[in-house]
Chain A
Amino acid sequence: MKKKRGVKKWRIVVFFAIILALAGLIFTNVMDHADDIKLGLDLQGGFEVLYEVHPVNEGQEIDRELLSDTVSAINARIDVLGVSEPNVSIEGDDRVRVQLAGVTDQQGARELLSTEARLSFRDVDDNVLIDGSDLVEGGAGQSFHADTNRPIVTVTGRDANVFGDATEEVLAHPDSRMAIWLDYDEGDSFDEEFGKEDSKIISAPNVSSVLRTTDIMIEGAFTVEEAQDLAGILNAGALPVELEEIYSNAVGASLGERAMDMAIAAGFIGIALIFAYMLVYYRFMGLIAVLTLSVYIYFVLVIFNWMNAVLTLPGIAALILGVGMAVDANIITYERIKDELRTGKSTMSAFKAGSRRSLSTILDANITTILAAGVLFYFGTSAVQGFAVMLITSILVSFVTAVYGARLLLGLWVNSRILNKKPKMFGVKEREISEL
């Protein structure tokens, strides 16, 4: 009988084993996960453009398929730009959102993104001589002019006669120039566009002889980089639609980085304050809370990383609320246990009753908030959706760690009987306990 009343040391051993295992897990890879989490533009710098998709030709319908074709075309261009971690997504019925973190030449990138990349060769009266269908797909390249050594773009024609006929036609014209257009639109004219800054006419060389060749050179006022980009875009293919920029947001890289550093430092201070408060107020139970909150933070980081979530300011708001709800779940349970202790129950039965009675409260509070977050996700757009996803994740994780995690860890101590008749360890004074 004596054995039954004694302290069950093995439970405490199990407790420390669990803690050591978790600590090992956390310390070995928490920084890897934290570093892997993608940061939003507001925290990293870069730019974001929301495009409205318009049909290129009449009768074209903007549907899901066309939108996803547009997204793949944009992705192909982003590859040309060499941006890591781009984010291109369809929004609503006719919009595409492009987020590029860490791009320095934002204007250049914007031009490359929204150009339809429809190359056409026309005479000065705007009659088509050669268009994209006469060129070999993926046949564009960048090289240097043999005589002047200036960067040029080369394209490959399907048939040498096509280019030959085109040059012949231009030669017959009094003004024997061949205009090379990018994104010619109905109504554009050579006279208006030529010589304009940011012209759609890349160049308009004089044709002096008939050239029967498939290798077509495009000269222009290119830098090497511009020529490479243009060749890349031409190879990536024409956009199936026209893109109109309806919103743009750009954050300087240094600005975003500074914001991030400060937010992280502030986060550490905030969490340290929460830990200190829990320890002072709830004593031993506070320690359990600190342990489960650490595990909570770790799991949230890991899951965000798995989900490939992008952390933005709204995401941080959701995280704070999640921490708040995790702490709240602990506090609700601990207050219940203290209540039970004050009524004179033994440590073990106070723990049992407190855990059981706090569960429905926590459940109700969490389910209502998840419900709200679910609606926000379903009906919201971009920033609101991001917030909702983060919130739902944090609530679910907080529920697991703060309810089951805390119950397991505290249960090991309580059931070891080592805390029997030690209400002070729970922050309950002897005189507060009413006699049964």
Chain B
Amino acid sequence: MNFDHETTKLDFVKHRKKFFLISAVLLTVGVILLSTIGLNLGIDFRSGTTMEVLADEPLTAESVESEFESVGLTADDITLAGDNNDVARASFIGVLGQNEVLEAQRHFEELYGNTPTVSSVTPLVGEELARNAIISVLIASVGIVIYVTIRFEFLYGISAIIALFHDALFILTIFSILQMEVNIPFIAAVLTIIGYSINDTIVTFDRIRENMKLEKKVKTFEDVARVVNKSLVQTLARSINTVLTVVFAAGALLIFGGDAIRTFSLALVVGLVAGTYSSLFIAAQIWLVFKGKQVEKKRFDSQVQGNEA
């Protein structure tokens, strides 16, 4: 692969409106979905009851499930534990009523001679964790804008943050569509995506900044567009190679990592691809729109001044 910016026919900038449209449509769908059907929140974020059944024989998830069904309960999740899988832990989203609990306890006591342990979990902690994560991300965003404004320029910072929220919302949208369970590791995945998104965007911006300095005069929107496109092409090999290698790692977790981390690794893979997409097609283009306006305004102002003089 060689993306020589002098001879290449690749034009990222020309199609920017299409990319904006694609993202806008997807994110609108996302906002609608999130506010209607929402996310499939796991027990980490909801009131729930867990029931631990101890048996004198090895259990299977299926047998326990049908035993619960015989008393009219549907477990949302059943895991087995104990040395011989003689303990089953069933989770119920939403707190069960007193009668339901009593009936289930009676049923299992007759069956195995042990009264199941029942504990209810408050959703408080999971919610707090999510809220804290969101607040932290918002504060971090302010910090990033300040850092990037000092090192670069305000417009870079604001564009990077827009891309960051684009990626976070993107992954939430996908999970709302797929209705996969959202748990605490999912939050870690979203945070990873945000970290990657910033990293990726900054690398692209760094090249744009460098090329802007090399240009003798950047006076029109077209000048800025040319620099942005050139920078994107120059960093393209790096962007693709980096996302490919990270996706190898996350993809291996998705395929070979087992059920326990499936949600988590899917979120990673989707988010990593979204992060690269947004750096190439959204972040740099948003910056172009902002910078282009600024440049055109300056030109207009100086023309007005020139006419008045």
Q: Which residues of A contact B (CB under 8 A)?
A: 42, 45, 50, 104, 106-107, 197, 245-248, 250-256, 258-259, 262-263, 265-267, 269-271, 273-274, 277-278, 281, 313-314, 316-318, 320-321, 323-325, 327-328, 331-332, 335, 339, 342, 357, 360-361, 364-369, 371-373, 375-376, 378-384, 387, 391, 429, 432
Contact = CB atoms under 8 A, between A and B. Distances in A.
8 contacts: A50-B125, A252-B81, A313-B260, A314-B188, A328-B238, A381-B129, A383-B187, A432-B2
Given A324-B246, A365-B203, A383-B184, A262 B257 contact: yes
Contacts of B135: 379
> B interface, how many residues as a size bin?
35 or more
Contacts of A342: 4
Contacts of B139: 375, 379
Chain A binding surface SS class:
helix
A371 B80 contact: no
Contacts, number: 231
Nearest to B250: A320
A270 B119 contact: no
B1 to A, nearest CB: 8
A259 B147 contact: no
Contacts of B82: 104, 252
A278 B206 contact: no
Contacts of B83: 104
B87 A252 contact: yes
Given A247-B121, A320-B250, A380-B133, A331 B268 contact: no
B129 A382 contact: yes
A324 B249 contact: yes
A27 B143 CA distance: 41
B196 interface: yes
Nearest to A253: B81
A98 to B, nearest CB: 13
Interface of B: 2, 4, 50, 52, 79-83, 85, 87, 89, 115, 117, 119, 121-122, 124-126, 128-129, 132-133, 135-137, 139-140, 143-144, 147-148, 151, 160, 184-185, 187-189, 191-192, 194-196, 198-200, 202-203, 206-207, 210, 234-235, 237-238, 241-242, 244-246, 248-253, 255-261, 264, 268, 272
Contacts of B203: 328, 332, 361, 364-365
Contact of B192 (A321, A335, A367): A321
B195 A379 contact: no
A35 B93 CA distance: 36
B188 A383 contact: yes
A252 B132 contact: no
A328 B242 contact: yes
A430 to B, nearest CB: 12
Contact of A107 (B2, B117, B187, B255): B117
Nearest to A429: B2
A317 B192 contact: yes
B231 to A, nearest CB: 12
Given A269-B252, A314-B188, A379-B135, A255 B79 contact: yes
Contacts of B234: 339
Contacts of A281: 241
A327 B242 contact: yes
A372 B144 contact: yes
A266 B256 contact: yes
A369 B199 contact: yes
Given A267-B253, A376-B136, A384 B260 contact: no
Contacts of A382: 129
Contacts of B249: 267, 270-271, 273-274, 320, 323-324
Nearest to A318: B192
Given A50-B125, A245-B119, A266-B256, A313 B248 contact: no
Contacts of B272: 324
A265 B252 CA distance: 9
